[in-house]
Structure formats: structure tokens, C-alpha cells
Amino acid sequence: MTNKLPRVVIIGAGFGGLWAARALSGAPVEVILIDQHNYHLFQPLLYQVATAGLAPEDIVYPVRTILRRQANVKFKMAEVTEADLALRRLITTAGIIDYDYLIVATGGVTNFFGMESVAKHGFGLKNIDDVLAVRNHILRLFELAAQEEDPAVRRALLTFIVVGGGPTGVESAGALAELVYLVMPKDYPDLDYDEARIILMEASNRLLAGLPVELGVVTAETLARKRVEVRFGNPVADFDGETVTLKDGETIQAHTLIWAAGIRAARLADKLGVKQAGMGRLVVKPTLQLPKHPEVMVIGDAAYLESESEPLPMVAPVATQQARTAADNIRRLIGGQAPQEFVYKNPGVLATIGRNAAVAHIGKWQFKGFIAWVLWLVIHIVRLIGFRNRITVLINWAWDYFFYERAVRVIMLRPAKKLNKES
Ligand SMILES: Cc1cc2nc3c(=O)[nH]c(=O)nc-3n(C[C@H](O)[C@H](O)[C@H](O)COP(=O)(O)OP(=O)(O)OC[C@H]3O[C@@H](n4cnc5c(N)ncnc54)[C@H](O)[C@@H]3O)c2cc1C
């Protein structure tokens, strides 16, 4: 590739990859951005698609549209299946692509920690396919419950289990409670809602481990007021599609288990032949470079870097900030300068628990209730890509807030998972 601009290949158009491509705008490089999808996905609102509040199109945006004004970047929709770091070569479903510099921003996938039964019968919340499957499944269970004569079967159909007491589990349980107790009674007035149960299971003894203890306590109390049963210290051991078995042997009849308890690095990380840490994340130097491959940087959920002896969290601000450092370091390497170390500036953590209720920890400040909820709304609207998406999401939220109507209560696809009794 002599006499040509150096080629930077970025794998992944999520928060890390897309921000890296933008940060290379105007740089003397040719950028190729590869993703298996043709869109950027705003994962923080996935749970709202799962609970029928938003349509998938509201939280995705075409990558080509986002980057259409950036002259030095080309997008390729393809999956990277293998990488040969020695040859600086990627094998993709669209052919072989060579690089001078590589940014790996492949993110994560749901981590079921090897529990095959849970992976088979439960639902993840990591991509559009996952959440559409959840939405269709929940809505279909209401149709089945409305036709069911046996109260025990009805109770099982209307029992929803969310596993994982981090922000995603809390947000999903809160949104599910509002769907079940506030929205669905309008469409299914004959159901007895005392037969419904929403259970949030957390293996440790507290919610929202990344936030101060008091905010976890407030969150559990708020969820309880929304009729979510919060249970601690008894991890899920098995789920066969009809019965959830807990570690101590207790069983719960339920057809829905939503797994929000773990993420691991996406599979490509396992194929690079370099050192991995917990959750399969790739160990990088403070400059985000792979130890033996200075031309390769890893950012976002796929990267393992410690800050104050703790691994950096798998959150969007880490990915976007690392993207800027990686892009800057590539410019520096090209200019013959030493790369700089990444320093994370934590902008704070927020989690919403439903209407008028959220918790936030920003710097020294803690917020809860309505103020935190408004903060959450504003930040999410601002961070969504695309003016049209912002307007649609705002309208949907306002409609839901004032009229208790969720926009997308339709079963659109054939069920991704059948109930055992149907197979
Ligand atoms: C349900 C949910 C809620 C969340 N809520 C929040 C929140 O409120 N706040 C927050 O800060 N963070 C939140 N996060 C975490 C945040 O979304 C991630 O930390 C962030 O997306 C990581 O960015 P990334 O670029 O590393 O990976 P991603 O954004 O996941 O992007 C990875 C991209 O790589 C692509 N890809 C992967 N493998 C390949 C391959 N082999 N070939 C081609 N393309 C590939 C994927 O298609 C994807 O587009 C949430 C995550 C989830 C799942």
C-alpha cells in the first residue's frame, strides 16, 4: 500500500467504531468502517422496544447516512470472521480487507455464563432481533392468557422474570411493570392483574452495584411500589421454558425469562490469538494498543483496561472517549509521535425506573425521583442520533406519559421461540 494514504479499518459501527470514524474526519487516512448491520444501534433504549414503547426504527440510524458528508470514510456491510494480525489482514463475508491500522470496536454479546438451557429458552436484550422476539413473545402471552381457562396456567403465562439488577434489568423490570399494570388493562380488561407477576432477580444483595448503596435501596423501593418483586441472593440455575429453577431448588412457573445479567466480548475477540481477560475482553495497553501489535487498537466493550485497579465499565461513554483517543493515537503514530494514554472521565451513571422515577450519580451529586428522571430523558434524547428519531421518540414518550398507551403493541413476526407445549 505504498504511495497511498494509510488505511485505517474499523470493525464495528457502535458507539466506539462510529465515534472513531468521525474522529478521523479530515485525517490523512483512508477509513473503512465495517459492520454486520447497516445501522448504528442506540442500545440504551433497546428495552423500550422489548416493552412495546418504541419501534426498532426509532433507535437505529443508517451508518451511510450518518457518515455521508465525511469524504475519507467508506462503509462496508459485512461480518469480519477472521483476522490475521501478522499479515494485517481481515477475512470478511465481503472478501479480504488489508489494513495499516486497525480499530477493533466489536462490542459485546449476551453472556449466559454457559447456562445452555437459559440461553435456549430465555431472551437476551442485546440487539434488535432479541428485543423484537421479547416484544412478540410478551404480547402473544397476553393473547394466550386471555383465552386460558385454567388460573394456574394463566398465572404462569403472566409471570415475567428479569434476571440482573444492573441498570438494564432495573429499567426493563420498571418498563414491564408499566406495560403490564398500566397499559395492557386497556386492551385486556377481563384479565385479573393480581395473577400477573414481575420478578427482578439479582444474585448479589443489592441493585445497581455501580451506584451508591442508598440509590440501590431507593430503586428497590420504587420498583416494589410498581409491583415488581425484587429478590436477592438466589441465582437462577435453570430455565426450561416453563419453569425457572433457582440455586436453592425453588421453582417458579413462568414462560418468560429476560436475561440482563451479563455481557461478554463479541466472538471475534476469541479469534485474534491475543491475551483476553474476564468476559473475553482483549487486554490493551493504556494507549489502547494491543501489546504486540501497536497498529491495532481495541476500544469499548471489547477492550479490557483497568482504571484505579477496576476494569473500565462496559458503557457508552467509555467507548466514545476511547474512540477519540484511538483516532488521536493513529494520527500521532502517522506523524511519528508517541501515542497517549487513555484517561476516563466518568460523566456519571443514570438508571430510570419508569415514569417520574430514576436515580443518577454524577460526580459528587446524587439525584433521585422526578429530577433524575428528567435528566435521564434529556440525556437520552440528546444522545440519540438523528433529528427524526429524536422527534419520534419524544412524541412516543409524551403519548405514553399522558395516555398510558404504548405505541407498538403489535405482534409482527412469527414467534422466535415457541412455548414448550406448542412444539
Ligand atoms: C440493553 C442495553 C442497555 C444499555 N444501556 C446503557 C446506558 O444506559 N448507558 C450506557 O452508557 N451504556 C449502556 N449500555 C452499554 C453500551 O451500549 C455499550 O457499552 C456500548 O454500546 C459499547 O460500545 P461498543 O462500540 O464497544 O460496542 P457496540 O455499541 O455494541 O457496537 C459493536 C458493533 O460491532 C458490530 N460487530 C460485532 N462483531 C462484528 C463482526 N465480527 N463483524 C462486523 N461487525 C461486528 C456490531 O454489529 C455492533 O454494531 C447498554 C447496553 C445494552 C445491551
Question: Is 171 in the active site?
Answer: yes
Residue 415 located in a structural domain: no
Give the cell for residue 152: 394456574
Q: Looking at the structure, do residues 169 and 226 belong to the same domain, yes or no?
A: yes
The count of domains in the chain is 2
Distance 323 CA to ligand 1 centre (A): 13
Residue 189 located in a structural domain: yes
Biggest distance spanned by C-alpha atoms of the chain: 75
Percent of the chain whose predicted confidence (pLDDT) is above 70: 96
The whole-number pLDDT of residue 387 equals 80
Q: How far, in Å, CA of 160 to CA of 319, rounded? A: 32
Distance 127 CA to ligand 1 centre (A): 9
Per-residue pLDDT band at 415 (split at 50, 70, 90): low
Q: Where is the domain boundary, 334, 359, 392?
A: 334
Q: Looking at the structure, do residues 209 and 134 belong to the same domain, yes or no?
A: yes
In 126-174 the beta strands, taken as DSSP E runs, fall at 159-163
**Contacts for 106 with CB less than 8 Å, ≥ 6 apart:** 11, 12, 80, 265, 266, 268, 269, 302
CATH number of the domain that residue 104 is part of: 3.50.50.60
CATH number of the domain that residue 367 is part of: 3.50.50.100
Q: How far, in Å, CA of 254 to CA of 122, rounded? A: 11
DSSP-derived 3-state class of residue 149? coil
**Contacts for 71 with CB less than 8 Å, ≥ 6 apart:** none
Per-residue pLDDT band at 306 (split at 50, 70, 90): confident
Q: Looking at the structure, do residues 125 and 217 belong to the same domain, yes or no?
A: yes
- Please say if the pLDDT value at position 5 is more than 90: yes
DSSP-derived 3-state class of residue 374? helix
Q: Looking at the structure, do residues 384 and 354 belong to the same domain, yes or no?
A: yes
Which residue owns the Cα nearest ligand 1 atom 8? 44
Which residue owns the Cα nearest ligand 1 atom 7? 44
Residue 376 located in a structural domain: yes
Give the cell for residue 338: 508517541
- Please say if the pLDDT value at position 411 is more than 90: no
The whole-number pLDDT of residue 410 equals 79
Q: Looking at the structure, do residues 209 and 327 belong to the same domain, yes or no?
A: no
Q: Looking at the structure, do residues 354 and 256 belong to the same domain, yes or no?
A: yes
Q: Looking at the structure, do residues 270 and 386 belong to the same domain, yes or no?
A: no
Residue 1 located in a structural domain: no
Greater pLDDT, 121 or 404: 121
- Any ligand 1 atom below 6 A from CB of 300: yes
- Any ligand 1 atom below 6 A from CB of 44: yes
Distance 380 CA to ligand 1 centre (A): 15
- Tens digits of per-residue pLDDT, 68-100? 999 999 999 999 999 999 999 999 999 999 999
Distance 263 CA to ligand 1 centre (A): 10
Per-residue pLDDT band at 120 (split at 50, 70, 90): very high
- Any ligand 1 atom below 6 A from CB of 46: yes
At residue 245, φ and ψ (nearest 5 deg) are -110, 130
Residue 251 located in a structural domain: yes
Q: Looking at the structure, do residues 285 and 393 belong to the same domain, yes or no?
A: no
- Please say if the pLDDT value at position 228 is more than 60: yes
Give the cell for residue 49: 422496544
Q: Looking at the structure, do residues 298 and 257 belong to the same domain, yes or no?
A: no
Active-site pick, 30, 143, 149, 171: 171
Q: Looking at the structure, do residues 270 and 255 belong to the same domain, yes or no?
A: no
Q: Looking at the structure, do residues 250 and 386 belong to the same domain, yes or no?
A: yes
Which domain, by its residues, includes 120?
116-261+348-409
What's the start-to-end Cα distance of the chain, in Å?
Answer: 55
CA dihedral 84, 297, 112, 179 (to 10 degrees): -130
- Tens digits of per-residue pLDDT, 171-224? 999 999 999 999 999 999 999 999 999 999 999 999 999 899 999 999 999 999
Per-residue pLDDT band at 385 (split at 50, 70, 90): confident
Greater pLDDT, 415 or 30: 30
Which residue owns the Cα nearest ligand 1 atom 38? 106
- Any ligand 1 atom below 6 A from CB of 127: no
**Contacts for 322 with CB less than 8 Å, ≥ 6 apart:** 16, 288, 299, 300, 303, 342
Q: Looking at the structure, do residues 233 and 322 belong to the same domain, yes or no?
A: no
Residue 421 located in a structural domain: no
Q: How far, in Å, CA of 141 to CA of 123, rounded? A: 14
Element holding 290 (H helix, E strand): strand 289-290
Distance 304 CA to ligand 1 centre (A): 15
Which residue owns the Cα nearest ligand 1 atom 33? 12
